[in-house]
């Protein structure tokens, strides 16, 4: 067993390549076993095994910074940097994070799980390094082909190229985000046409021509000779410049013939590849050469990997190569991922809406499966758009579609809509465009940690002029809200936000409509609980618990967070005390808006607002996190008793 001997990257350098290949096999078995126990990211990590080993053999982390875009593919990095024994607690409360964590290790840098950021970090760290005089450490940024479809990546590439920053970019191209990436970069580089845009892994690696070219272009001996020839020619009087031009022209002709200059080189970033991402020897050679060539400026090493490599249930999963997986039986692999709960309700509802209105189109930012849009794509292939990991473009694109007479439904996780805040406000709302935002994973999501909880959407979006913000308390309410949004959007944008996981099922008479709140039960005027979305279920249970001690509670399902229903505000203001509860940030949240409006008509009525704190909330089990924050039945009961009898 080699894995047990690896406690830090230096231990990798004692192994020969046969031992490294054996270690890679052990690591794959370890990751499958670990993820099968706790759930987590699988396909991406299985594809990054050899890449991670080669990086940690060639570069000297943490002196050299090895940074991972998105970070979901950093399990091997964690394994070889001393955290093997912590994987039993992967993504558990207080356990190992599923992403790099600065608290866990000096080898970790970026904790944010939002994609397409790593090149900007690399740029910034290179600038900081270069302000010093003797700092020669390497800045290595690993970015996936999916993350490369995010606009930020191009902003950074542009700056890196023009700034000639000494950064090594490792483009980990497995041809996929969840779905196949918009274009397979390897094919694009060689100008292959569309039908080759997603060649098999083997095809992608065995293109010997570009392979051979890589050797030439990467080999520093070739580069040094080329430079000596250029210097010699330039030194020749008279004929020198012409001869030099002739050599340049010849080289350009060779390059043009063999391989069109890549996108990267057009921006001043040297490109080389593709390299076989599962051949450690080849990877190490490529990285050593890149170190030499990076003296002149940034270089991309294009690495081809296979998502899910080495575990057939992942290799054979056409939808997402087991990008992530729940707890599962490693012998058989997890069952096929199908939408459940609110995601399933959205998947069904948006199809029904589109059947009724042919203006309706659906947009995803590289997450057709997790957002529930795969069935929509099957029903309406020409009305479905996957724009890549490009939320800003998705939203501004939706604005364009709406201006053109379409009715776009934009399906984006709550947390990822943060990326497109500017476009939501000034491209959609400013023009009062009929765009419907369907935000899955709103509220506390759990295992993916601080940058995945969807806790800001209500507080922020309720402040956008003309924006309607709806929060369903059941699957049936979500269906209703999708129907209503299709017409409400005549007057401008609508947001529907709903949580990860199971959805409450209710009878048709327990569903509201439009922008009205729904009174679930009427009390005797003592206490009024106003609940947002999934919190209604806890509010009803709290009311039942309070009834046992003689407190007769009114309960409202808020439904429309913006605008708030005036009838609900007026009724709440007639009570002795009010509790509001939402699974979003309390500061500036819906509860505070309710308190503000009640205060305007009944300033003496106390309002206790429950919500998430203005803090980053670490990963863990969502129910445990919500209980800890008082966002459950007991928390509501406690708040009710306190607001009724503050002296108790
Ligand atoms: C801004 C943003 N949008 C969406 C996601 C969700 N997401 C996580 S990983 C992933 C796919 C990443 O693809 P790639 O960069 O190619 O990495 P791979 O999983 O293929 O290794 C997506 C869309 C995200 N993390 N950040
Ligand atoms: C990094 C990544 O893939 C995230 O988008 C996350 O893992 C999604 O998790 P769920 O789809 O399980 O909410
Ligand atoms: Mg990928």
What does the pLDDT look like over 351-394, one tens digit per residue?
A: 999 999 999 999 999 999 999 999 999 999 999 999 999 999 99
Helix (H/G/I), strand (E/B), else coil: 356? helix
Q: What is the position in ligand 2's atom list of the atom closest to the CA of 115?
A: 1
Which residues form the catalytic set?
307, 391, 419
* CB distance 440 to ligand 1 below 6 Å: no
CA 536/CA 29 separation, integer angstroms: 43
Q: What is the position in ligand 2's atom list of the atom closest to the CA of 71?
A: 1
Instruction: Quote the ligand 1 centre to 166 CA distance (angstroms).
Output: 26
Q: What is the position in ligand 2's atom list of the atom closest to the CA of 70?
A: 1
| Phi, psi (rounded to 5 degrees) for 579 | -120, 130
Once rounded to an integer, what is the mean pLDDT over residues 119-125? Answer: 97
Helical packing angle, 151-163 and 118-131, nearest 10°: 30
Instruction: Quote the ligand 2 centre to 635 CA distance (angstroms).
Output: 28
Instruction: Quote the ligand 2 centre to 527 CA distance (angstroms).
Output: 39
pLDDT per residue as tens digits for the range 450-467: 999 999 999 999 999 999
* CB distance 182 to ligand 1 below 6 Å: no
Instruction: Quote the ligand 1 centre to 70 CA distance (angstroms).
Output: 6
The DSSP bridge partners found for residue 407 are 360
Mutate to test the pocket of ligand 2, among 307, 370, 372, 619 (most ligand atoms within 8 A of CB): 370
CA 507/CA 362 separation, integer angstroms: 28
Cα end-to-end span (Å), the chain? 62
Instruction: Quote the ligand 1 centre to 178 CA distance (angstroms).
Output: 7
Beta carbons within 10 angstroms of residue 634's beta carbon: 14
Q: What is the position in ligand 1's atom list of the atom closest to the CA of 145?
A: 16
Q: What residue spans of 90-191 are helical by DSSP H?
A: 118-131, 151-163, 185-189
CA 646/CA 311 separation, integer angstroms: 59
Would you list which residues are annotated within the binding site for Mg(2+)?
A: 145, 174
Instruction: Quote the ligand 2 centre to 82 CA distance (angstroms).
Output: 25
- Strands 167-173 and 299-304 come out as parallel
CA 413/CA 436 separation, integer angstroms: 13
* CB distance 146 to ligand 1 below 6 Å: yes
Pocket residues: Cβ below 6 A from ligand 2:
70, 72, 113, 324, 370, 441, 445, 448, 500
Instruction: Quote the ligand 3 centre to 306 CA distance (angstroms).
Output: 9
For 415, what's the count of Cα atoms within 13 Å in the CB-facing half-sphere? 20
Determine what percent of the chain is predicted with pLDDT higher than 90: 85
Helix (H/G/I), strand (E/B), else coil: 274? strand
Which-ligand-closest: CA of 412? 1
Determine what percent of the chain is predicted with pLDDT higher than 70: 88
Which-ligand-closest: CA of 45? 1
Higher-pLDDT residue of 2, 201: 2
Q: What is the position in ligand 1's atom list of the atom closest to the CA of 147?
A: 15
pLDDT per residue as tens digits for the range 54-77: 999 999 999 999 999 999 999 999
DSSP-assigned letters across all residues of 394-405: HHHHHHHHHHTT
* CB distance 414 to ligand 1 below 6 Å: no
Instruction: Quote the ligand 3 centre to 225 CA distance (angstroms).
Output: 36
Which-ligand-closest: CA of 112? 1
Q: Could you give the C-alpha distances from 89 to 37, 109, 388, in angstroms and in order?
A: 9, 21, 32
Is the CB of residue 85 less than 8 Å from the CB of residue 160?
no
Is the CB of residue 386 less than 8 Å from the CB of residue 376?
no
pLDDT > 60? residue 482: yes
Once rounded to an integer, what is the mean pLDDT over residues 331-357? Answer: 96
* CB distance 110 to ligand 1 below 6 Å: no
Would you list which residues are annotated within the binding site for thiamine diphosphate?
A: 72, 113-115, 146-147, 174, 311, 391
- Left if phi > 0, otherwise alpha if psi is -120 to 50, otherwise beta: which for 559? left
* CB distance 306 to ligand 1 below 6 Å: no
CA 646/CA 629 separation, integer angstroms: 20
> Using 50, 70 and 90 to split pLDDT, how confident is the model at 646?
confident
The two structure tokens encoding residue 90: 């992967």
Q: What share of the chain is helix, strand, coil (3-state, %, to 5)?
A: 50, 15, 35
Is the CB of residue 644 less than 8 Å from the CB of residue 614?
no
pLDDT per residue as tens digits for the range 185-239: 544 444 444 334 445 665 555 444 445 445 555 555 555 666 666 677 667 777 6
The predicted structure's pLDDT at residue 239: 67
Which-ligand-closest: CA of 326? 2
For atom 9 of ligand 2, the residue with the nearest CA is 448
For atom 10 of ligand 2, the residue with the nearest CA is 370
The predicted structure's pLDDT at residue 184: 45
Surrounding ion ligand 3 within 5 Å at CB are: 144-146, 174, 176
Mutate to test the pocket of ligand 2, among 308, 327, 413 (most ligand atoms within 8 A of CB): 413
Is the CB of residue 514 less than 8 Å from the CB of residue 455?
no
For atom 11 of ligand 2, the residue with the nearest CA is 370
Once rounded to an integer, what is the mean pLDDT over residues 613-628? Answer: 98
The two structure tokens encoding residue 422: 């500017």
Would you list which residues are annotated within the binding site?
A: 72, 113-115, 145-147, 174, 311, 391
Sheet holding 360-364, edge to edge: 384-386, 360-364, 407-413, 436-440, 494-497, 468-470, 560-562
Is the CB of residue 552 less than 8 Å from the CB of residue 579?
no
For atom 6 of ligand 2, the residue with the nearest CA is 448
- Left if phi > 0, otherwise alpha if psi is -120 to 50, otherwise beta: which for 259? beta
- Left if phi > 0, otherwise alpha if psi is -120 to 50, otherwise beta: which for 389? beta
Q: Supply the Cα-derived Rg of the chain in whole angstroms.
A: 28
Domains of the chain: 3-186+259-324 (3.40.50.970), 341-497 (3.40.50.970), 519-644 (3.40.50.920)
Of the given ranges (240-249, 345-354, 430-439), which has the lowest mean pLDDT? 240-249
Is the CB of residue 111 less than 8 Å from the CB of residue 105?
no
Once rounded to an integer, what is the mean pLDDT over residues 302-307? Answer: 97
Once rounded to an integer, what is the mean pLDDT over residues 30-35? Answer: 98
* CB distance 115 to ligand 1 below 6 Å: yes
For atom 16 of ligand 1, the residue with the nearest CA is 146
pLDDT > 80? residue 240: no
Mutate to test the pocket of ligand 2, among 452, 454, 502, 619 (most ligand atoms within 8 A of CB): 452
Q: What is the position in ligand 1's atom list of the atom closest to the CA of 144?
A: 15
Q: What sign for the dihedral angle of Cα 139, 142, 148, 150?
A: negative
The whole-model pTM stands at 0.91
Listed residue (478, 459, 388) closest to 418, CA to CA: 459
Instruction: Quote the ligand 2 centre to 215 CA distance (angstroms).
Output: 37
């Amino acid at each position: 067993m080699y894995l047990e001997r690896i406690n830090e990257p230096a231990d990798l350098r004692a192994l020969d390549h046969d031992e490294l290949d054996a270690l890679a096999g052990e690591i794959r078995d370890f990751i499958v076993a670990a993820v099968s126990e706790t759930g987590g990211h699988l396909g991406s990590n299985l594809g990054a095994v050899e890449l991670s080993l080669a990086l940690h053999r060639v570069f000297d982390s943490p002196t050299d910074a090895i940074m991972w875009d998105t970070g979901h593919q950093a399990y091997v990095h964690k394994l070889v940097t001393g955290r093997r024994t912590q994987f039993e607690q992967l993504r558990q409360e207080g356990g190992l994070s599923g992403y790099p964590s600065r608290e866990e290790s000096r080898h970790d840098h970026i904790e944010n799980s939002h994609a397409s950021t790593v090149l900007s970090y690399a740029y910034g760290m290179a600038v900081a390094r270069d302000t010093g005089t003797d700092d020669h450490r390497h800045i290595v940024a690993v970015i996936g082909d999916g993350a490369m479809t995010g606009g930020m990546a191009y902003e950074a590439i542009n700056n890196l190229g023009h700034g000639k920053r000494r950064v090594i970019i490792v483009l980990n191209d497995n041809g996929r985000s969840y779905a196949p990436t918009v274009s397979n970069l390897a094919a694009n580089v060689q100008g292959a046409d569309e039908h080759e845009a997603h060649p098999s892994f083997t095809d992608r690696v065995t293109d010997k021509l570009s392979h051979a070219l890589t050797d030439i272009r990467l080999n520093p001996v070739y580069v040094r000779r080329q430079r000596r020839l250029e210097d010699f020619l330039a030194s020749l009087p008279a004929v020198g410049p012409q001869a030099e031009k002739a050599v340049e022209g010849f080289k350009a002709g060779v390059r043009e013939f063999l391989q069109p200059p890549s996108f990267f080189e057009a921006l001043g970033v040297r490109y080389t590849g593709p390299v076989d991402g599962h051949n450690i020897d080849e990877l190490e050679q490529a990285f050593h050469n890149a170190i030499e060539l990076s003296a002149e400026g940034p270089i991309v090493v294009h690495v081809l990997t296979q998502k899910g490599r080495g575990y057939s249930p992942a290799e054979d999963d056409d939808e997402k190569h087991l990008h992530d997986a729940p707890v599962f039986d490693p012998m058989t692999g997890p069952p096929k991922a199908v939408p459940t709960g609110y995601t399933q309700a959205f998947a069904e509802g948006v199809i029904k809406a589109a059947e009724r209105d042919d203006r309706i189109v659906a947009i995803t930012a590289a997450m057709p499966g997790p957002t529930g849009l795969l069935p929509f794509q099957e029903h309406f292939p020409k009305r479905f758009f996957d724009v890549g990991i490009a939320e800003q473009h998705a939203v501004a694109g939706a604005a364009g579609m709406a201006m053109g007479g379409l009715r776009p439904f934009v399906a984006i996780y709550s947390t990822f809509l943060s990326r497109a805040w500017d476009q939501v406000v000034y491209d959609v709302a400013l023009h009062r465009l009929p765009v419907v935002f369907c935000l899955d994973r709103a509220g506390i999501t759990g295992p993916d940690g601080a940058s995945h909880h969807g806790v800001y959407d209500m507080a922020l979006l309720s402040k956008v002029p003309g924006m309607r913000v709806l929060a369903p308390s059941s699957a049936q309410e979500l269906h209703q809200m999708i129907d209503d949004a299709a017409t409400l959007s005549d007057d401008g944008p609508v947001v529907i936000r709903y949580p990860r996981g199971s959805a409450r099922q209710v009878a048709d008479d327990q569903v509201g409509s439009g922008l009205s709140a729904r009174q679930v039960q009427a009390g005797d005027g003592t206490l009024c609980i106003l609940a947002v979305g999934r919190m209604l279920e806890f509010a009803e249970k709290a009311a039942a618990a309070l009834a046992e001690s003689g407190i007769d509670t009114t309960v409202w399902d808020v439904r429309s967070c913006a605008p708030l229903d005036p009838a609900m505000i007026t009724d709440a203001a007639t009570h002795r005390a009010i509790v509001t509860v939402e699974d979003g940030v309390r500061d500036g949240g819906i509860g505070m808006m309710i308190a503000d409006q009640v205060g305007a008509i009944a300033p003496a009525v106390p309002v206790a607002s429950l919500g998430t704190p203005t803090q980053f909330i670490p990963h863990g089990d969502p129910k445990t996190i919500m209980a800890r924050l008082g966002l459950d039945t007991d928390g509501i009961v406690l708040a009710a008793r306190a607001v009724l009898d503050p002296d108790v």
